[in-house]
Structure 1
Amino acid sequence: MRILVVEDDSRISSFLWKGLEEAGYIVQLASDGYEARDLITAEQWDLFILDVMLPDIDGLQLAQLIRYKKIDTPVLMLSALGEAEDKIKALDIGADDYLVKPFHFPELLSRIKALRRRYALHYAPDETLQCADLTVNMDTNLVQRNGNEIQLSAKEFKLLVYLLENKNKIVSRTQILNTVWNTNMDTFTNVVDVYISYLRNKIDNNFPDKLIKTVKGRGYMIAGDK
């Protein structure tokens, strides 16, 4: 499950990122509305967590943008404003839930699960990612190729999921770093190459059809017949 967290307070965003990652979610942070606006439309997300009070484009405007773009992904608003009219305004423009700061982290996790359950009931998303004979069950984290189970580390799994979510598309090392390692520092790009090698050893080496491709000068992609 991929979550975009938009929060300008570095202390709070760090707290959210650490807790959500430990809970098993893939988290991308945005510190302002402009960065968030680009990420909202550039990639697919399973949940948006938006701070209401941002210095430029605020969380309410971002929620409006999400619904204007006909993106049905759940939106959870975070705010220090706890008055009834504040909550009503957010819900009226398309937010699905509203949590007042400060909050207990277990409550946030509970609300995330509730939002995803409601979303699944309405939209019944496919919980299996597939490329050729490679499948990843997102409910159980089971990875299989041609029916054979493949054991992956947590980072290898996140990397594979990101490649599959962008199947047949080139993703740069920087994009991978942003999503899987939550950093865009160029000095870490060799880490991506190392983990791509780890994945290839487990996903491709024992099979005649190689799914993970290197696109020289641009990045990587996973591609297959399905």
Structure 2
Amino acid sequence: MKAILLEDDLILSKEVISFLNSMEIECDAVFDGELFFRQQKLNHYDIYLLDINVPKFNGLDVCKKIRETDKNTPILMLTAYRDIQDKMDAFNMGADDYLVKPFHFDELYVRILALLRRSANPQETNDTIIIKDLEINTKDLKVKRNGVTIDLTPKEYQLLLILAKANGRTLSKHAIAEQIWDVHFDSNLNTIEVYINFLRKKIDKEHPEKLIHTRPGFGYYLNTEK
């Protein structure tokens, strides 16, 4: 496995490289966005690790530009920015996960493994799930509502799919985090709220009947009742 790290804190960069190498993940590092794209042209990488506040192109700009040509390689943001809006900005640009500094290296490793595992084993079946006027094609990974195609990111699609497969049951934030990110850390739970908001805007906003619901104190569910 090979990673590239965009990080302008040279001490932290060296520590991350040393740790990942010890875990048999080869890691290159650059300290600004311009160098990132030069290095990216020279090698194939299995995952991108991006700080936001770096010189030249910042991490969000780098994330957005990556997604213009590469929809699948996992992107993990490593940043001191912890506000929900910062996370929403990152996910809107195409990031797959978001880890706030300071972080434990063990958590970094688990997040990387989870993203790589998801990337290497995409879920594909021949079924079409239909919930009212919502159609989820699990073979082509396409979603339609009332016949209109809805463009979802991979994580948004995964979240919608597990809610649909729950068949009306309420899923807790912990259960969702474990299925999508394969981790148990509480820091992931507000990420679920961010993605639920994304889905509501894309799935429900233009329709009078809302499918995505919150059961306060318990979690989220899709309304499957006819």
For the 8 Å contact 1:40–1:66, the answer to whether it is kept is no
Question: Could you tell me which residue of structure 1 aligns to residue 43 of structure 2?
Answer: 43
Q: 2: CA distance between counterparts of 1:59 and 1:39?
A: 15
Moved segments of 4+, more than 6 Å: none
Which position in structure 1 is the counterpart of 2:9? 9
Per the alignment, residue 70 of structure 1 pairs with: 70
Q: Which residue of 2 aligns with 1:103?
A: 103
In the TM superposition, 1:200-211 aligns within 5 A as: none
* CA deviation map 1:16-46 (0-9, x unaligned): 0100000111111111111101122332110
User: Post-superposition shift, 1:123?
Assistant: 8.2
Give the Cα separation in 2 of the matches to 1:65 and 1:76: 15
SS in 2 for 1:118: helix
Structure 1 equivalent of residue 52 of structure 2: 52
* Correspondence for 1:92: 92
Query: 1:162 maps to what in 2?
Result: none
The 8 Å contact of residues 3 and 49 in structure 2, kept in 1 or not, is answered as yes
Percent identical among aligned pairs is 37
CA separation in 2, counterparts of 1:21 and 1:97? 21
Q: Match for 2:84: what amino acid?
A: A
Alignment size in residue pairs: 124
Cα distance, 1:71 vs structure 2: 4.8
In 2, distance between residues paired with 1:102 and 1:40? 26
Task: Encode CA deviations 1:117-170: one digit per residue, 9 max, x unaligned.
Answer: 11112289xxxxxxxxxxxxxxxxxxxxxxxxxxxxxxxxxxxxxxxxxxxxxx
Q: Measured at CA, do residues 14 and 6 of structure 1 come closer, stay the same or move farther in structure 2, by a change above 3 Å?
A: same
Q: Deviation per CA, 1:73-115, whole angstroms, max 9, x where unpaired?
A: 1000011010111111101110000000000110000100110
2:31/2:55 contact within 8 Å kept: no
For residues 106 and 6 of structure 1, the distance between their equivalents in structure 2, rounded to whole angstroms, comes to 19
Amino acid at match of 2:30: A
1:24 matched to which residue of 2? 24
Structure 1, gaps ≥5 residues long = 125-226
The 1-side partners of 2:50 and 2:90 are apart by: 11
TM-score (norm 1): 0.53
The amino acid of 2:119's aligned partner reads: Y
| In structure 2, C-alpha distance between the alignment counterparts of 1:109 and 1:17, rounded to whole Å | 12
Find the counterpart in structure 2 of residue 175 from structure 1. Answer: none
Equivalent residue for 1:168? none
Q: Distance in 2 between matches of 1:41 and 1:86?
A: 28
1:186 aligns with none
User: Whole-Å Cα distance in 1 between the matches of residues 4 and 91 of structure 2?
Assistant: 19
TM-score (norm 2): 0.53
Query: Structure 2 CA distance, aligned partners of 1:59 and 1:105?
Result: 20
Return 5+ residue gaps in structure 2 as ranges: 125-226
Between the aligned partners of 1:70 and 1:80, the Cα distance in structure 2 is 25
